[in-house]
Amino acid sequence: MSDNAKSKVREILAIAGITLNGSRSWDVRVHDERFYQRVLADGSLGLGEAYMDGWWDCKKLDEFFCHILRADLAYKIKPLGMLFSVLKSKMFNLQRKSKAFVIGEKHYDIGNDLYKNMLDKRMAYTCGYWKNAKSLDAAQEAKLDLVCKKLGLRAGDRVLDIGCGWGSFAKYAAEKYKARVVGITVSKEQVKLGRQLCKGLPVEIRLQDYRDVDEKFDHIVSLGMFEHVGVKNYRAYMEVASRCLKDDGLFLLHTIGSSTPSAVVDPWIAKYIFPLGQLPSVKQIAAAIEGVFVMEDWHNFSAYYDLTLQAWFNNFDTRWDTIKANYSERFYRMWKYYLLSCAGAFRARYNQLWQIVLSKKGVIGGYQSLR
């Protein structure tokens, strides 16, 4: 290990108020001197892999990442591999139809036992609405109810849920609002468990890519799926939604977003958590909906994702003994890094969370926003 590498890393971290082997909760404790060269060579990918390998630790990873991102350190180290990833995403449609089921296999199919123990009782894997909530269960029910109210959901309405997960919205809308729901997902495990959870309700859960849906619905929702669509497909996605939505219906899009346009997601996240993922920007969404939809409402409640991710980690951490026979200790460190780094990103306001309500021709008399 070069002393120059250690000095360079110390200098970079100091910009964010982080001290090597310091005593504060966000300071880095290095266990392996190879850490420094690895971070300089591989950037965020090397940082994450070094953590998975036990080369460094931090009392509070969420605070570490909040400091890192508030100081824009993500732009201080850009390894050559990042350039190739950007070029690849610009040259090819990485989220083309033939790749649609990759995210299901790599992320959502890794174990329903993991998600049952990590998520709320309804298994909603999207940001909760904590405005008046004091628990994860309450925050997720509040989010589901907010979505139903924003749509003006009524008994008998037929709703398409694009990226339905384990059926949390479909089940809630059917139980509480007497809606009929078709949910689609690219995860076989989600289909299997979702059908069990929604048994006896007017809910159909399908293993299907969004591009293959060609039916009419009163309303459409998409909660936390747009992050897998890819910028080259945003327009086609909106056109599919328009094709499937009745003229007087509403489309609610719930998505994580980026404050700036980006061709690729973080390299570590892309390799270990969400392959082929991409966060949209305001500009990219706006370009995709122009001439297709009227934007009725745009609601940002990003700070609530910090609370949601902390709650998920607390569940995962306290219930680890229940599921650890099916996973490795390296997986534990990987999943901890994922959940807490994302919590820090939302706390730093680096990532955003938007709910956008769209109509095909504009709501006569105006849309009444709900918060």
pLDDT the model gives residue 86: 45
DSSP string, 302-358: THHHHHHHHHHHHHHHHTHHHHGGGS-HHHHHHHHHHHHHHHHHHHTTSEEEEEEEE
pLDDT the model gives residue 94: 52
C-alpha–C-alpha distance, residues 14 and 223, integer Å: 38
More confident residue, 74 or 137: 137
Element (H, E) at 252: strand 245-258
β-bridge pairing 158-162 and 180-185: parallel
C-alpha–C-alpha distance, residues 343 and 42, integer Å: 22
C-alpha–C-alpha distance, residues 104 and 88, integer Å: 22
Report residue 220 as tokens. 């459409």
The question of whether 127 is a catalytic residue gets the answer: no
pLDDT the model gives residue 266: 86
pLDDT at 75 over 70: no
Under a CB-based contact definition with an 8 Å cutoff, are residues 52 and 273 in contact? no
pLDDT at 101 over 80: no
The pLDDT confidence band at residue 214, using thresholds 50, 70 and 90, is: very high
Sign of torsion, CA 171 177 182 183?
negative
pLDDT single digits (tens) 22-46: 999 999 999 999 999 999 999 999 9
Domain boundaries, the chain: 3-78, 102-359
Fold of 102-359: Rossmann fold (3.40.50)
pTM of the predicted model as reported, rounded to 2 decimal places: 0.92
pLDDT single digits (tens) 254-282: 999 998 887 667 889 999 999 888 999 99
Under a CB-based contact definition with an 8 Å cutoff, are residues 251 and 241 in contact? yes
